[in-house]
Amino acid sequence: MKDLIIYEDNHLLVVEKPGGLLVQGDRTGDVTLLSMAKSYLKERYDKPGNVYLGLVHRLDRVTSGVVIFARTTKAAQRLASFFREKLIKKHYLAVVHGSPPPKGILEDKIAWDENKRKAYISSKGKEASLVYLKLRTKGKKSLLLVQPITGRKHQIRVQLARRKHPIVGDIKYGSKERIYFGRAILLHAWRVVLPHPVKDEILRFEAPLPFYWPKEFYPPAKIPWLKVERKL
């Protein structure tokens, strides 16, 4: 677990989630990032009893990248409010099938099918918006920089698949190619910018790309933040 720590202080624990690892428990009973992080803190600080660690956001099992935990209830409450107020900015990298337009804003309504554990586009769903920038195309695949504006479950995956550009490895949403034994896809929560929940400072974090990410789709050295030119 120690190798996955990106940042740590008295209020926050920021970690790199590998693709294929659950953030929190589900019906499989598999090991989770949350339980690993709690065990790390318990051992590192020799804490008796249960260790508090607030889960303020999630990544899908198949997605890799930055995950932020709150180490106090005060930090958890403030981070939750930051997410609601859209004060936390996240950039994802995604390798998709095909070649989308150079940039775009995707807006849909998304609903969730609990039985199939899958999102779908529906007029009765909730508003979902994202912006993206195509960084490069090679062969029949493209690298995108994606900034979600809303935080719907499986949002990036279903919105890109809807345009016939499913994420590579995402069998659930139309990809025909498996990545890392089917436990991961080429979607990576790459960098996050957020206000510190207690201190007067802005924090910036990046998670390195996972080992199975194809070298030809590494991002350029410098990438600007996407600008949302209108309210979504």
| Residues involved in catalysis | 60
E strand residue ranges, 2-88: 5-8, 12-17, 54-55, 64-70
Q: Are strands 187-195 and 126-138 parallel, antiparallel or unpaired?
A: unpaired
Structure tokens at 74: 């005060």
CB atoms within 10 A of CB 222: 5
Q: How far is CA 150 from the centre of its chain?
A: 12
